[in-house]
Amino acid sequence: MATIIKNGTLITASDTFVADILIENEAIAQIGKDLQHPNAEVIDATNKLIMPGGIDPHVHLDLPMFGTVSSDDHYTGHKAAAFGGTTTAMDFVVLESPSPSGRGARGEGDFQYSVDLWMEKSAKAAIDYSFHMNLTKFNDKIAKEIPSLMKMGIQTLKVFTAYNGKLRLDDGGIFKALRIAKDNGMLMMAHCENGDVIESLIPEALAAGHTSPEYHALTRPAWGAVEATLRMAAMAEQADSPVYIVHMNVGGEVDMLKYARERGVKVMGETCPQYLFFTIENLRQPDGAKWICSPPMRSKQDNARLWEGLHDGVLQTIGTDHCPFFFDGTQSIMYEGKVIAIAGKELGKDDFTKIPNGLPGIQDRMPIMWTYGVRAGHITPNQFVAYNCTNPAKIFGLYPRKGALIPGADADIVIWDAEKKIKYGVAQSHQRTDYNLYEGWELTGYPEKVFLRGKLIVDGEKWLGKSGDGQFLKRGEGEIL
């Protein structure tokens, strides 16, 4: 079946123009004026904006943590994403190995086993999806097997400079992995904090009786992120291999990114909406646990510098780091007519180190960034599409199939009502948790219809998608922006 979207204003990463779009066989078949087709359903988009479906490069679905699990899985999280205009999400595979007894996972790490586990989890996907691989162990065996990930359609490795003894690799391991990535056309992603400083400060805080949420931020100093960002850029330059810094949250990281890029280092940066709006003061509220994530909220000055980084084009993408938990998992909510209760942030009510780290955001990203980014004058509509759609597609080897409004691209399309007003919050959110960071915020501009490969999956408040609609996207080598 064919569909024509007529008279909309198309917004791409570079251009804005009025045109019709013809959709056939899940793809954009033609773009032009006054398009005709004898059997097409016609959708009038006069006075509406047309954008490519959003790509969220950074989500954590069905992720075990602190004795519980992130409350969105690959159906509920994807459904929420679609209502916010996102049609592709990239999750992170946890590196595990099968236990010889079959009970649990242990060992030095098995890529195929780990990817298979995540493929099983994502069988219920409602939008298209891809994976990054968490590289949390490194030895000769793993080094030899890294290239096998490309055959599985995964071209990205994520390393950590924090979480000592759990997720962190030492700098030597990171450098060796960078060189392997370069030789195989892969991209390294990096979580940048100073693990040694964090591991010194946390015991001191607890010994002094400091257990409230604000100490999550105070034991993870901003300078550690700044230093680690420059350190990762330096290692990338020495390895002649690109690196992508995830969830940049400190103004100084923008400075380091700019410094390195001006000197030809192949380093790219992502930020997230929470780091543009919230600060440590939110952690000091009675419900401060809602804002616990890693890295933590910083200051208003950091908010402002990150906005400058987006405005000036220093940063490349906006992700969400979506990893939601219930604020109070002792109380249930209704989701699609079912009673749901999942242990959450109440696990750390007396100890900030036991609060699950993560926030909801996969649905919020594009609506929040339109009102408080585009309409507020921080970024242009074209930058909005670049950061949320096109740049992630290019960097992660999905362009031009995704993130583009051009013939041949998948018909992942959002019809955006730029004048729709909504009072946002948990009542409008399809994220499977009991709170929303943006409760009561006034929005102007919201998705009206969302298409996944030509299929209408969101129509106003109607959910037309279903579990299993999503396809796994094998990725090739991406671009360095």
pLDDT band at 103 (very low <50, low <70, confident <90, very high): very low
pLDDT exceeds 90 at position 221: yes
Sequence-distant (≥ 6) Cβ neighbours of residue 438 within 8 angstroms: 364, 368, 424, 425
pLDDT exceeds 70 at position 205: yes
- Burial call 440-457: b when 16+ CB within 10 Å, e when fewer: ebebbbbbbbbbbbbbbb
Sequence-distant (≥ 6) Cβ neighbours of residue 358 within 8 angstroms: 60, 63, 65, 70, 292, 293, 321, 322, 323, 324, 325
pLDDT in tens, 454-470: 999 999 999 999 999 99
The rounded mean pLDDT for the chain is: 96
Read off the pLDDT of each residue in 312-340 and give the average, rounded to a whole number. 97
Read off the pLDDT of each residue in 108-134 and give the average, rounded to a whole number. 95
pLDDT band at 97 (very low <50, low <70, confident <90, very high): confident
pLDDT exceeds 90 at position 102: no
> What pLDDT shows up at residue 173?
97
Q: What angle do CA 435, 441, 445 make, to 5 degrees?
A: 115
> What pLDDT shows up at residue 101?
54
Read off the pLDDT of each residue in 343-348 and give the average, rounded to a whole number. 97
Answer whether 3-51+402-463 and 54-395 agree in fold: no
CA distances to 53, 244, 352, 452 from 445, in Å: 15, 30, 36, 20
CA-nearest of 82, 109, 83 to 97 is 109
d(CA 336, CA 396): 33
pLDDT in tens, 166-197: 999 999 999 999 999 999 999 999 999 999 99
> What pLDDT shows up at residue 98?
83
> What pLDDT shows up at residue 109?
80
> What pLDDT shows up at residue 183?
97
Right CATH for 3-51+402-463 from 3.40.190.10, 2.170.190.11, 2.30.40.10, 1.20.1250.20 = 2.30.40.10
How is the chain split into domains, by residue range?
3-51+402-463, 54-395
54-395, superfamily in CATH?
Metal-dependent hydrolases (3.20.20.140)
Contact yes or no for 53/452 (Cβ under 8 A): yes
Read off the pLDDT of each residue in 429-451 and give the average, rounded to a whole number. 98
Contact yes or no for 243/249 (Cβ under 8 A): no
> What pLDDT shows up at residue 313?
98
DSSP code, position 371: I
Is the pTM higher than 0.75? The answer reads yes
d(CA 102, CA 118): 17
Above pLDDT 70, what percent of the chain? 98
> What pLDDT shows up at residue 107?
56
Above pLDDT 90, what percent of the chain? 97
> What pLDDT shows up at residue 100?
62
